[in-house]
Amino acid sequence: MKVGFVSLPFTGHLNPMVALARKVQTRGHKVIFIGIPDIEPTIRAANLDFIPYCDKEFPLGSLDRYLAPISRLHGLAAVENTNLHLTPGLAKAAFEHLPRLIKKIGVEALVIDTLHRFLELVPMSLNIPCVHIWTALHIDGTGTTPPCIYNWPHEDTPQARVRNLEGLKKIGGMASPTLDLAKAYAEKAGLQIDWTNPATAVPRLAVISQTPKEFDFPGIPWPPQFHYAGPFHESEGHAPIPFPWETLNGKPLIYASLGTLVNGLDHVYKTILQAVGKLPAVQVVLSIGMNVELDSLEPIPANTVVVRRAPQIELLKRAALCITHAGLNTTLEALAQGVPMVALPIAYDQPGVFLKPPCTGADEHGSHPTSRSAHGIHRRRPQHTTLALSGMSMTFFFRNSIVLIIHVLRLLLSFSSNSTAPIKID
């Protein structure tokens, strides 16, 4: 079968979609990744076929112009900016060009990033099967649990459900520019969509989340086609990322990163640097991305290696601690390696990732979870995996470096008492 993949052009979405596409390809299917020109190097590095589209609307180099302003935002401001300035343009271009392209190349089924909003209307109009993939933390549309963009605790009360449903309405309002485009496309294509029922356009074949079931709250009334199936990550299928391995000195390693999207907040990096600079017994690798000037972070502590990009999984295999923005990919990768985390959730699904049971340190029975992955590999397993945070809010950042120092020390002390012997995860 010839299977098309379409993803939002963000690294955090592309990486799991690429891992999934590579797995589908190993099953003997012909995989074609379709996207804007800027993502071609990522797809080619994974040895996947790539076909660009909407190159007039999103010419090579245009993505960075959209992402640079987002990198300096936090909380709902980042979500609103994306829904106002980027996703409507992607949807408009897709509605215009994707149906014709799919017919031309003979795609027989489509795998779509769920957050590429309303794109499922295209395969519906062409009468070909479609699957949704939640590369980010999925959103529970029933109101049973809080939407992940908010820092609300999970509470099984009528008041909490009312709050959650109001939050969902606000999310829907943010997507209104794209919704207007979707309604116009559906009308033109002759699709009968009940826009008062969000489930009308949900693919009936499958909705797949890369979030493991153990990472979610219990009791969500998912439809039968919803499946927990993650995590979707792999060490291969990426272009090599240069790294000065010779600088690692054998001291306990702290890996720190704010991801690839909202990574332009230099005051957060400065707080991290001030904190770890007071810990001479450790070494730090800080990955800062492309949206911060290195000079603005000086002075750099002697125990810290600062890089633009880092081979994250390989560093996590060596790390004693991870300082993270609580992005879903980094969190799942750290959990897979049994690495404790200090979390600084900034925007998008990060508040929700932070509040999941394995991160707060207890499951629904109040006991500490064990590290687990769907891949059955050997890894270190601490007695418990903790995600530490103080003063978290949608405008969160560490105002006082001593707070971070305390959390780092606490986690390092906790980790030092844990066994690092490899175990088999069934």
CATH code reported for the domain at 245-421: 3.40.50.2000
For the CA atoms of 160, 165, 166, 168, what is the dihedral angle to 10 degrees?
130
At residue 404, the pLDDT reads: 55
Give yes or no for a contact between 164 and 239, defined as CB atoms under 8 angstroms apart: no
Q: With contact defined as beta carbons under 8 Å apart, do 385 and 340 qualify?
A: yes
pLDDT value at 390 more than 50: no
Indicate if the pLDDT at residue 421 is higher than 70. no
Report the pLDDT value the prediction gives residue 239, as an integer from 0 to 100.
Answer: 86
Q: Give me the sheet containing 387-388, strands edge to edge.
A: 304-307, 283-287, 253-257, 319-324, 341-343, 387-388
Rounded Cα–Cα distance for residues 341 and 334 (Å) = 8
Q: Of 219, 262, 260, 227, nearest to 114 (Cα)? A: 227
Which pLDDT does position 19 carry in this prediction? 95
Which residue, chain included where needed, has tokens 């949206």? 291
At 57-111, the pLDDT tens digits run 999 999 999 999 999 999 999 999 999 999 999 999 999 999 999 999 999 999 9
Q: Given its phi and psi angles, is residue 48 left (phi above 0), alpha (psi -120 to 50 degrees) or beta?
A: beta
Q: Count CB neighbours of 419 within 10 A.
A: 11
- Return the half-sphere exposure (C-beta side, CA atoms, 13 A cut-off) of residue 151: 20
Report which of 261, 380, 367, 258 is spatially closest to residue 318, judged by C-alpha positions: 380
Residues 324 and 344: their CA atoms lie apart, in Å, by: 6
Q: Is residue 302 very low, low, confident or very high in pLDDT (cuts 50, 70, 90)?
A: very high
Tens of pLDDT, residues 236-292: 888 889 999 999 999 999 999 999 999 999 999 998 998 888 889 999 999 999 999
- The four Cα atoms 329, 330, 334, 335 give a dihedral, to 10 degrees, of -40
411 vs 386: CA distance, rounded Å: 8
Confidence of residue 386 (pLDDT cuts 50, 70, 90): very low
Pick the closest to residue 202 from 79, 114, 321, 300 (CA basis).
114
Phi, psi of 244, rounded to the nearest 5 degrees: -80, 75
Compute the residue count for the chain. 426
Distance (Å, whole) CA 148 – CA 141: 11
Per-residue pLDDT tens digits for 352-365:
998 887 655 533 33
Per-residue pLDDT for 199 more than 80?
A: no
The letter for the amino acid at 30 is K
- Could you tell me if 371 and 359 are in contact, meaning their C-beta atoms sit under 8 angstroms apart? no
Q: In which residue are the tokens 């609103």 written?
A: 80
User: What's the confidence (pLDDT) of residue 259?
Assistant: 94
Of 394, 422, 410, 402, nearest to 75 (Cα)?
394
Amino acid sitting at position 227: H
Query: Residue 425 above 70 pLDDT?
Result: no
Specify the 3-state DSSP secondary structure of 5.
strand
Name the fold adopted by 2-228: Rossmann fold (3.40.50)
ω into residue 357 within 30 of 0, thus cis? no
Which of 244, 239, 270 lies closest to 256 in space, CA to CA? 270
- Yes or no: say if 283 and 249 are a contact pair by the CB < 8 Å rule: yes
Which residue ranges does the chain devote to CATH 3.40.50.2000? 2-228, 245-421
SS3 state of residue 256: strand
Rounded to 5 degrees, what are φ and ψ at 58?
A: -130, 70
pLDDT of residue 358: 61
Residue 263 has a pLDDT of: 92
Weakest mean pLDDT among 18-22, 55-59, 398-402: 398-402
8-state DSSP, 85: H
Neighbours of 268 (CB within 10 A): 23
- Rounded mean pLDDT of the chain? 85
**Is residue 59 within 8 Å of 9, Cβ to Cβ?**
no
Greatest CA separation for the chain: 66
Question: Residue 186 corresponds to which amino acid?
Answer: A
Which pTM does this prediction carry? 0.86
Note whether 347 and 75 are within 8 A (CB): yes
